[in-house]
Chains A and B, each alone.
Chain A
Amino acid sequence: MPVERCEHTLDDGEDNLAFGSLRSRYHHQSDGYVDKHRSARLAARESYKVLEAMWRRPSPQQVARSIIPPLSASEFKALAEEWRRDTRHVSSITKKVMHPAYQRIMAMGEAALPLILQDLQATRSHWLWALHYITRKDPADPAANFHQAVDAWLRWGRENGLLSR
């Protein structure tokens, strides 16, 4: 049976690469041209479902969001106050950042940015680490001191629509 007789046009959305391997497998299992053709089309649909499921699989960020539910503004405020109270006399940034409340807020990812920036504007607390961790950016001048870096982040927040002007 010449293989080329089994060639057919894939339905919209069917994937040629995935279909190819499945088609070969079905060819070995069937004798007649019609059966093979049907088998091939069935295989194509199956492979498309697999690919579609893979494509729709949540991103790591989506998975994180489903495991770590987002915080409401009041929950954020309570955690921020807890963090400030417990670390108000701590001089070590590492110890401040490792506080569970700070970690919980960082785990919110990008959804936390407006809340963090509002709190930064109001309190000038040490949110630079969280902002850098979440955004992978650093808008401050390399030689900036803390307050200059805070001002740079607040500007960045306004420019990006995350903080009201």
Chain B
Amino acid sequence: MRGYAGVERMAYSADSHKEIEQDFPNIIGKYEITSDKDSGHNCIAFAVGDHQSFWDPAAAMRPIRGYYWPPGCGDDDAIKNLVKVFQIHGYEVCQSSDLEADFEKVAIFGDAVAYSHAARQLPSGKWSSKLGEGHDIEHDTLDALCGTGNAYGKVIHIMKRRRAASAPVDPKS
């Protein structure tokens, strides 16, 4: 089986599926695991296109080595700080999560105060997410990750940028 990036997909254990479905009850039957677990990068890095780093505003507040946060994007998990991160990567806030051929989109999840997650849209219109320290997944809808408890709350913003602007660049530059 081949995934969205042409990578050969593996079968993942029932435990992996159980963990995901416990935390995201809305996801059952609407997703596929696309990578091994990796504690070395998170959803924000993944959404920006960096699979090597763990992006977290705590890196700005208390500079513990091993984490990264772009300068000038605040030092806490306020939604406006994550919006700024995507803005410096060419995204702007938009209204619709529908697929637009010329644009790539990201979705910011959270609550009234803080962000909890970011997902990026695939050319197919499906979405791709890195779940914390866990797997990368491909999910059919954004609703699949919404909910209370360990789920990611609700979608707060959709942002988009032109695909031409997404030529491979160092996400940290």
B interface residues with partner A (beta carbon < 8 Å): 19-20, 23-24, 39-44, 52-54, 56-59, 64-68, 76-77, 114, 116-117, 130-134, 150
Contacts and interface: CB of A to CB of B under 8 A. Distances in A.
A91 to B, nearest CB: 4
B77 A145 contact: no
A155 to B, nearest CB: 13
A20 B58 CA distance: 54
A142 B65 contact: yes
Interface of A: 86-95, 97, 123-126, 128-129, 132, 138, 140-142, 144-150, 152
B43 A91 contact: yes
B65 A140 contact: yes
A22 B24 CA distance: 72
Contacts of A144: 65-66
A154 to B, nearest CB: 12
A97 B54 CA distance: 15
B65 A141 contact: yes
A145 B53 contact: yes
A128 B40 contact: no
A47 to B, nearest CB: 45
What 3 A-B pairs come out closest when comparing CB atoms?
A: A149-B66, A140-B65, A89-B132
Contact of A89 (B53, B54, B66, B134): B134
Nearest to B54: A146
Contacts of B133: 87-89, 125-126
A92 B53 contact: no
B64 A125 contact: no
Nearest to A141: B65
Nearest to B24: A89
A95 B43 CA distance: 14
Given A91-B42, A91-B43, A150 B65 contact: no
A153 B25 CA distance: 37
Given A92-B56, A146-B66, A126 B77 contact: no
29 contacts: A87-B132, A88-B133, A89-B23, A89-B132, A90-B150, A91-B44, A91-B116, A91-B130, A91-B132, A92-B116, A93-B58, A93-B59, A93-B67, A94-B56, A94-B76, A94-B77, A95-B77, A123-B39, A124-B40, A126-B39, A128-B67, A138-B64, A138-B65, A144-B65, A145-B54, A146-B40, A146-B53, A146-B54, A148-B66
A128 B67 CA distance: 10
A136 to B, nearest CB: 11
A145 B68 contact: yes
Contacts of B66: 128, 140, 144-146, 148-150
